[in-house]
Chain A
């Protein structure tokens, strides 16, 4: 039985810059009890699609049909939609921190929903909510009913959101990136809970995510979107083992999880298109590795294959698996006799304080960290949020004074250097930050931003500085002619290149990357990782690489340190950590990270027929 069916859904959102064609002619059906996944990068239209289904886009023009249990949602009035939201369609949003109202207790936020839709008696409603909270794994649910969202951890809040979505037993639950904001170990728990709840209650789940790998183990059917279009749809098994659309294949090939450690990634080149224009041919053609002449001229036909896969592509069979043919894995061996760049011994950091009338408190963030980095190597620092990894990076960079221990940088003890030496030492450590949107001053030209190190240390000025900056821009793959542009004119990936160029300016001995790719889409992420690796090979750079993503860390690092609650619990060669983790926390982290889907090529797939695109 079909729960949800979309037919030729098209969503246009008017903005000041013009009309954004967010969703183009998308059709799919979701059967009762299944988990239907929608995957795509940012701007693919996946979130807009679900908000359009719920009628949460008041300004948008929506065409087509969306049938929920046979009723066309697009034909309903706002009032009728209100009675459907929550009771027939439950929603789980991405960020449980911001999706719950901070001023109301979690219990009242859930019971409010029962009251609105069912007019239940107060005590009965409370009992129902408490039962469900206990069911989704909230301990002492009865006492915690009156607690506020900020009193729960991220994972617990997402459990509360799940309870909220399920409390009225809706036939359909839409989960929009339900685990993206959570730590890996928590992510796995939440996915398991969602899967368990849907099996127990027979709920149909529509799950939206940018992480294709996440869907491989749980989705029954899958739709891949790009630039508002349905690129590929079909049962999850054949779709993962042999993606028929070059974009799906490219997404899988961009993920380091699908490679041997250290192999060159095959990224999707270029960047996502503007949604303001409608290209004549295939929207993916400019970035497609299998593109043909016809792709840019005519809209692609719909290919229907015998194993249930439907693809919007000119190719008549699956594109080649480029990850499998990728360059040989090369993990550069680090010479253990090379110089030590930085050495930390027993580094401690505690925040303490107290006001005029307040009690003193003390918070230990780093509890005795020992590590060393040699020239040319990459040390990965892995841990969940709050473990102190970013703080450690700032301490090593000298941005936060430590409260105990010793850091030796290029042979100088940081606690003893005089200001003059310190200024020259500063050149040796550079940082690249996580959020490429926040880390660049939006009101300065990028030439000035990249040239800053030269200005601050009075190394080059005028024409010489400009020449240096343009050399750096070329080095990181930016067009040197864009010297005078502002950061807003660049995409996230390009901005991260700007950050890397700035870090490279002074030939530093050590570059600290603090989650450099976690804010980027997977296709862009692969481009940046490749860039970092090639720069390291060419310039013999030393990296300290901080990340929560184990696949990424394994891909770029020689050695890995696992950080938990301010302590290094395990440190060693990257492959050793992966093949035989010693510490239970390392094992927990590893088992929680999503396993890459099996890929064994096409098996007996035949093209059944093709439907040509409308001439219009």
Chain B
């Protein structure tokens, strides 16, 4: 009898715990999603109704806001710029980074460890002001307000992490594979291209996602380097739009929707890998 009572009590407490946990989790989830819903809802209102209509989904949604934002507010141009920068930087980071990681892992050459440690050191030590001299350098090289001036520093910015991740991966690659390829007459580059890279597919995929997220969300460098609207990526474009159209909330929110749509889509499709990547990265460290 007493035993039953204990079990009963235990079950009730457990139920209450789960119940309240669920309520809290749901409330927090709503607070995570709501600002985005509110943004989207404002993007569907007119300049007049946005300040008075407090409904979550307006009765007469103005889808035209997206067309206006895309064409007249220049977000179409910003979007393709962002896409271009993201593709080029990701390709650059992965190509240059994986080449270096392979060499650091597999070859012996003078100053190998010196350079590797140098790479890792800059990843660990924060240098908050290096953007000042980066700006000066780009001015000297006549790369201010050019695409290449925006791309190269970002490729460099992604290298250390990529080299670190891929080197740890290549270190685990069996030596026999490399030897077999050598006997078949592969040179170093072909071993890298045909043996190492295909094996590292998954690790590379993770680096692609995280680098792409970083480039798509980059702002500081874009602010310092780019001043022509034709060259700006979305994040910079948003601030430029906000600076000159302070209160045009519907168009601004349409612009933000355009900005985050690809990110949110890719995140939802790849969430398993992204969250696993964050978890793995943390626990390993």
Is the A/B pair a real complex?
no
Chain B residues near A (Cβ < 8 Å): none
Chain A residues near B (Cβ < 8 Å): none
